Copies of this chain bind each other. A is one copy, B any other.
Amino acid sequence: MSAGNHAQALAYHGGRLGIATTIVMPRSTPNAKVEQTRAHGAEVILHGNQFDETRDFTLAMARERDLTLVHPYDDPAVIAGQGTLALEILESSPPSLDVLLVPIGGGGLIAGIAVATKALAPGVQIIGVQSDRYPFAQHAFHGLTHPDIPNQGTIAEGIAVKSPGLLTMELIRRHVDEIVLVGEQEIEQAIFMLAEIEKTVVEGAGAAGVAAVLKHGARFEGQHVGTILCGGNIDMMTLSSVLQRGMARSHRLVRIRVEVPDVPGALGQVTQLIGELDSNIVELSHQRAFGASSAKAASVDLVLQLRGEEQVEQVLDGLAARGFDACLVR
């Protein structure tokens, strides 16, 4: 059972070693992950709306079909394997690494990394990062009872786990310093910035560490912070949306509404003016039934691409100067 990387790793090695693998994934798993797992020759079963439903189904199926279960996180060998990442990081990072931010779902990755790091470089602070929609390891870390949180989707489906492992929680309590939470907005923004600045495609769960820097940036000032971009299996449609939403957040994509007299040539004037103001029209829709102040006027919504907040003002002012009533639509 796996929401992603474990599935592909198992399928890959199963294929290499000639061992048949069956992977159960939650129904909401992005297509990209399902297809890449199948491509390695695994049988993929989609079951359960939540990872925990997937897990219960998998445990029952493994018993019934007499299959060996390779747990995605609550397994000492899996934890140790993921811990080798820390060896590579410590080898290649500057000796002054202060903090390592590690995304947590079931807890296997951070458990392995914390064990290895605290043994070799005990001065490095290990901070776990969870989605605020799935803060279950954080709650367990503080000894709180299982919180009653409504089931919500998250863009970080790779760490959307309701039951962290028993073994992993024991190691996390012993070796991890703290667990912080990040929201959907910060995760999205992290994916966007990694694509735009670092030219790297990272999935939500993999971007959680960068999201933590965005959210808790001030406290890390002057420190050397490392994080692990632990997955790139993001659906291309989702990435496409994240990019557009990132453009909108940075005012490089805005929606404005302009009232235009309902006569030939009026729309031509508006669109030409917007071109002269050096803004590119991405979308345009026209309607007459709602909102316009007169039956002889049409309300036109335009999605514009521009350079940022300053240019938004220039475009609105430029339209007003020519007598067109324009406003920003959020």
Contact = CB atoms under 8 A, between A and B. Distances in A.
Interface of A: 31-32, 34-35, 192, 195-196, 199-202, 232, 236-237, 239-241, 243-244, 246-247, 252-253, 282, 305, 307
Residue among A34, A199, A282 having the largest count of chain B Cβ atoms under 10 Å:
A199
B247 A236 contact: yes
A305 B195 contact: no
B232 A239 contact: no
B307 A35 contact: yes
Contacts of A199: 200-202, 232
10 contacts: A31-B252, A32-B196, A34-B307, A199-B201, A201-B201, A236-B243, A237-B247, A237-B252, A240-B243, A240-B247
A232 B282 CA distance: 22
A236 B31 contact: no
A236 B282 contact: no
Contacts of A282: 237
A236 B243 CA distance: 6
Contact of A201 (B200, B240, B241, B305): B200
A246 B252 contact: no
A290 to B, nearest CB: 15
Given A200-B201, A252-B31, A239 B195 contact: yes
Contacts of A195: 201, 236, 239
